[in-house]
Amino acid sequence: MDYDDSKDYLDKQLLSEINIIPLVDVILVLLILFMMTAPLLTPHAIKINLPQASSEINASKPNIITVSINAKGRLFWNEKPIEQSELQQRLIHAVQQLPSSELQLWADKTTPYQQIAEVMSIAHQAGITHLGFITQPD
């Protein structure tokens, strides 16, 4: 057997073996991709008990005072028109009867902020500590 024959024999032997290095490279890349995408598959992994909220008025509470301001700036106490000078006396009287009274302020979206701020100031001076703005849900 001369040198050329041995070289052919070695080439044939090397070709018959499986090269696993590319296979391992592909498996490692797939493993890395899986490890990166696995957290994205479970977006709610942290369980949180979220509070429920409603924008509906609870009309059964006796200590709710409803004051409305229309687009022209007129004040309404439980849907009955009143003057701004009368508002403070009514609020003081309501706080004296029930100290935990809550004022729910309804205002037209075109009502000037100055009018709303004046009603808030009157409510604060009367002793109202709970004030809610009522909005229209979408």
Q: Where do the DSSP E strands lie in 11-129? A: 64-69, 75-77, 80-82, 102-107
Percent of the chain with pLDDT over 70: 72
pTM above 0.75, yes or no: no
Which pLDDT band holds residue 112 (cuts at 50, 70, 90)?
A: confident
64-134 adopts what CATH topology? Nucleotidyltransferase; domain 5 (3.30.420)
Indicate the range of 25-29, 87-91, 97-101 predicted with least confidence: 97-101
Query: Measured between alpha carbons, how far is 118 from 123 in angstroms, rounded to an integer?
Result: 9
Strand partners, 103: 65, 131
| Alpha helices (H) along 16-82 | 21-41
Q: Which two tokens stand for residue 53?
A: 């909220």
Which pLDDT band holds residue 26 (cuts at 50, 70, 90)?
A: very high
Give the per-residue pLDDT at 70: 86
Does the pLDDT at position 24 exceed 70?
yes
Could you read off the pLDDT of 94-103 as tens digits, one per residue? 888 888 888 8
Give the per-residue pLDDT at 130: 87
Helices then strands, counting H and E runs in the chain, come out as: 4, 5
Check residues 19 and 56 and name the one with the higher pLDDT: 19
Give the per-residue pLDDT at 31: 95
Give the residue extent of every domain in the chain: 3-41, 64-134
Q: Which two tokens stand for residue 111?
A: 């009502």
Q: For residue 63, which of 104, 97, 101 has the smallest C-alpha distance? A: 101
Give the per-residue pLDDT at 39: 75
Give the per-residue pLDDT at 97: 86
17-45 mean pLDDT? 84
